[in-house]
């Protein structure tokens, strides 16, 4: 393994050498190899020799159940089973015939990046307790051996235990809940009382985000909207998206998309092993957006369930490579999200779908929940080297886009978003036309500007970004 990096990497050739050594020199028994992710599993599988005396099986949480069950079957005499697995086999799965463990000491982990404001997945070294768990997988019913592909000095540098989840995740939902249960106790004071307090900067960032979403006021007290969204079992940004969908009367598609992506589950039976087929199936729903494509596939399944029953819906899933029972789970979550809206908002706003067929509005509502990527700034788009260009440069530096000069910023903006930044009036007229099409009722470019509705080009389609307020 590459031991001199904060983000360690697997040397796949070394892993294969150890597996081959065990196969050629050791007695019978299955080999369990721990790898960080699917890409590493595939690379090691390809490097292993294709001989009749080795049966290579893969184990990953996103593989379909039938493939995962194969790891429990015993191979015929003279054939050694080799299981390439993520850390799902560390504690969640016990395989009786495993005698040898190959431990790379690396796993993939989701951690919240406070600078970027998003969850990032990367390779990290495991903890000492995880190493003991992996070693314990060898020889569950007979003596076994474990091979660890890192030096003792690296093991001694591992943390004793896995970091608590609160140190690796966004604190916005936790803080919002804490305000309800602690009667608006100061955020830093509340967090300092936890067994493993997060960094103060992480707490301050979460407070700023909740204020930006208008869920906390300037004194860190819950607003009426904040108290309402605390009842939603969703990240505050996504809960705010659902509220915006009610305001702009496109509730059903937004609820469906939020539910599908917040469920964080693989809906396709071949999602890992045959991505090209999945891409073709998605394109039948929408060629420009994964969000809209999955929404339409899900809604087609719902329609079949309602009209033709579960057996016909299961056939539809088989034809579309979808996993029927996971769609049932998503549908249960969808009903919960609709219940949140009806219970909290039905007396204030009607739950309506007047503009659900307008894809641009649906995408705009979704964008309204990603404030870490798109922010409103109060300056006009004007010609020449102006305060706008200096401000835009400062903004791009803030969000980490890496532009070094105002000219670089302007060129990238023109190239990536296909908007002529020198045509102030033309941009406003284009936005005004779009706003009239979706029935938002703006009458003049100035009105549009004050409501800060912008259009931009992203991945081949034009979208609206609405700076929505409570």
Q: Which domain holds residue 183?
A: 169-230
CATH number at residue 67: 3.40.50.300
Alpha helices in 352-460 (DSSP H): 359-367, 387-398, 406-417, 424-437, 445-450
Residue 117 lies in a domain: yes
Residue 1 lies in a domain: no
What is the pTM for the complete model shown?
0.73
Same domain, 348 and 387: no
Q: What is the arrangement of strands in the sheet containing 98-103, beginning at the earlier edge strand?
A: 54-59, 80-85, 30-34, 98-103, 145-148
Residue 4 lies in a domain: no
pLDDT score at 345: 83
Number of folded domains that form the chain = 4
Same domain, 32 and 100: yes
Residue 19 lies in a domain: yes
Residue 277 lies in a domain: yes
Same domain, 75 and 62: yes
Dihedral angle of Cα 315, 320, 321, 322, to the nearest 10 degrees? -80
Residue 5 lies in a domain: no
pLDDT score at 141: 75
pLDDT score at 251: 94
Same domain, 33 and 156: yes
- The rounded distance, in Å, linking the Cα atoms of 255 and 333 is 10
pLDDT in tens, the chain (470 residues): 544 446 899 999 999 999 999 999 999 999 999 999 999 999 999 999 888 899 999 999 888 777 888 899 989 998 999 999 999 888 878 888 899 999 999 999 999 888 878 888 999 999 999 999 999 988 777 889 999 999 999 999 999 999 999 999 999 999 999 999 998 899 999 999 999 999 999 999 999 999 988 899 999 999 999 999 999 989 999 999 999 999 999 999 999 999 998 888 889 988 777 888 889 999 888 888 889 999 999 999 999 999 999 999 999 999 999 999 999 999 999 999 999 998 888 777 888 899 999 999 998 898 887 655 444 454 444 444 444 444 444 444 444 444 445 455 445 444 443 333 344 444 445 444 444 444 444 445 444 333 333 333 333 323 333 333 32
Same domain, 180 and 83: no
Residue 95 lies in a domain: yes
The tens digit of pLDDT for each residue in 58-115 reads 999 888 777 888 899 989 998 999 999 999 888 878 888 899 999 999 999 999 888 8
Sign of CA dihedral 368, 373, 375, 381: negative
**Cα–Cα distance list, 145 to 93, 102, 103, 142, 159 (Å):** 18, 9, 11, 10, 23
Last residue of a domain, one of 353, 386, 417: 353
Same domain, 148 and 175: no
pLDDT score at 16: 96
Residue 16 token pair:
């294969």
Residue 157 lies in a domain: yes
- The rounded distance, in Å, linking the Cα atoms of 104 and 56 is 18
Contact present, 142 and 104 (Cβ < 8 Å): no
Which residues contact residue 441 at a Cβ distance below 8 angstroms, ignoring those fewer than 6 apart?
Answer: 435
Same domain, 43 and 133: yes
């Amino acid at each position: 393994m590459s031991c001199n990096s904060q983000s360690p990497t697997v040397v796949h050739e070394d892993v294969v050498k150890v597996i081959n050594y065990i196969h050629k020199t050791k007695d019978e028994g299955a080999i369990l190899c721990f790898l960080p992710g699917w890409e590493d599993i595939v690379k090691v599988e390809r490097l292993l020799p294709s001989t009749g005396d080795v049966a290579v099986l893969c184990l990953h949480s996103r593989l379909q159940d039938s493939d995962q069950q194969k790891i429990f079957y015993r191979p015929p005499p003279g054939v050694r089973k080799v299981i390439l697995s993520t850390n799902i086999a560390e504690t969640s799965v016990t395989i009786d015939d495993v005698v040898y463990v190959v431990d790379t000491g690396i796993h993939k982990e989701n951690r919240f990046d406070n600078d970027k404001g998003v969850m990032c997945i990367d390779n990290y070294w495991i903890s000492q307790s995880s190493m003991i768990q992996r070693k314990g997988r060898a020889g569950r019913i007979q003596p076994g051996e474990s091979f660890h592909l890192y030096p003792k000095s690296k093991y001694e540098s591992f943390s004793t235990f896995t970091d608590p989840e609160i140190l690796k995740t966004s604190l916005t939902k936790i803080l919002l809940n804490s305000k309800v249960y602690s009667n608006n106790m100061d955020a830093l004071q509340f967090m300092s009382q936890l067994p493993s307090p997060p960094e103060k900067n992480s707490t301050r960032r979460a407070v700023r985000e909740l204020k930006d979403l208008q869920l906390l006021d300037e004194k860190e007290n819950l607003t009426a909207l904040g108290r309402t969204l605390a009842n939603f079992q969703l990240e505050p940004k996504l809960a705010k998206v659902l509220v915006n969908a009610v305001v702009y009367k496109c509730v059903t598609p937004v609820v469906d998309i939020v539910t599908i992506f917040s469920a964080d589950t693989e809906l396709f039976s071949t999602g890992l092993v045959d991505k090209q087929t999945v891409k073709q199936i998605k394109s039948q729903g929408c060629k420009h957006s994964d969000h809209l494509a999955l929404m339409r596939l899900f809604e087609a399944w719902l329609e079949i369930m309602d009209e033709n029953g579960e057996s016909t819906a299961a056939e539809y899933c088989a034809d579309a490579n979808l996993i029927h029972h996971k769609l049932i789970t998503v549908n249960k979550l969808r009903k919960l999200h609709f219940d949140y809206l009806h219970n909290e908002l039905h007396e204030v706003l009607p739950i309506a779908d007047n503009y659900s067929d307008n894809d641009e509005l649906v995408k705009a509502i979704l964008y309204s929940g990603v404030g870490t990527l798109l922010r409103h700034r109060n300056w006009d788009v004007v010609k020449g080297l102006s305060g706008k260009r200096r401000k835009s440069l400062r903004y791009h530096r803030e969000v980490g886009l890496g532009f070094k000069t105002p000219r670089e910023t302007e060129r990238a903006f023109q190239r990536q978003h296909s908007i002529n930044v020198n045509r102030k009036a033309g941009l406003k007229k284009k936005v005004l036309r779009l706003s009239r099409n979706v029935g938002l009722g703006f009458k003049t470019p100035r009105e549009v500007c004050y409501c800060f509705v912008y259009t931009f080009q992203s991945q081949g389609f034009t979208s609206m970004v609405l700076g929505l307020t409570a």
